[in-house]
Amino acid sequence: MTDPRSAADSWLGQVEESTGRLLRTVAGLKPDAVAEPSALPGWTKGHVLAHLARNADSLVNLLTGARTGTDVPQYASHEARDQDIERDAPRPLDAHLADLRASHERFLAAAAQLTDDAWAASVKHRFGYVFPAHQIPHKRLLELEYHHVDLAAGHTPADWPEDFAVAQFRKLAAGLAGEAGLPAVELVADDTDDRAVIGTGEPALTVRGPVRALTAWLSGRSAGDALHRTPDTALPPLPPMG
């Protein structure tokens, strides 16, 4: 049985490390980089940075709800979320960097106020599903690691911590197991010996490579061109990451 506080503390430590990596990347950008395209269609680097800062604040709302026992929405509305990102995206790089630091500190401060009982409380994601509060730091970690890659500023899936890549490989592959309309594919991670089968039917294709590269493909962060395929055929299109 998962101990809520221990799980939260473990993920909080990873969030701290991940945020440090992100801040170093952002500090190394040129001032005009905020207007450059990111890897996300229609979003500049400024959009990605604004989203990361506002996401931290949205998770503060969920932490506050867990602490107080009240239903605090993650965002005021879907429209407000999008408007805030559009508003903040064009800001100077220094403003983005300061905002990322400040929102991270607010997130840590809010987390530090939770009791053991509060970490076990239920909160509601902006999409409506309910989950335990101790998973909030993990959701922040996902935002940081995936969107650091989406920033298209030199940080790639090859830079993901192995434990992050392995955990995501297993989660994403499990989510695609039995996926209707997806032909069965056997996945083999050469560096960790992780294996999985996605799709339906008997696998007619085996895809091998480092676990980070496999996770990049499963998460839509790579076309999978560097993965080894047997037989040497095209990879099937995957549904968007949920």
| Domains of the chain and CATH, by start | 4-155 (1.20.120.450), 162-230 (3.30.1050.20)
Tokens of 15: 């969030």
Q: What pLDDT does residue 232 have?
A: 94
Question: What residues have CB less than 8 Å from 225, skipping those under 6 apart?
Answer: none
Question: What's the gap between Cα 74 and its chain centre?
Answer: 16
In SS3 terms, 129-190 reads as: CEEEHHHHHHHHHHHHHHHHHHCCCCCCHHHCCHHHHHHHHHHHHHHHECCCCCEEEEEEEC
Q: Is 74 helix (H, G, I), strand (E, B) or coil?
A: coil
Q: 135-156 b/e with 16+ CB inside 10 Å = b?
A: bbbbbbbbbbbbbbbbbbbebe
Q: What pLDDT does residue 240 have?
A: 87
Question: What's the gap between Cα 9 and its chain centre?
Answer: 18
Q: What pLDDT does residue 37 have?
A: 98
Q: What pLDDT does residue 79 have?
A: 96
Which residues in the chain show pLDDT less than 50? none
Q: Is 182 helix (H, G, I), strand (E, B) or coil?
A: coil
Q: What pLDDT does residue 24 have?
A: 98
Q: What pLDDT does residue 241 have?
A: 82
DSSP code at position 22: H
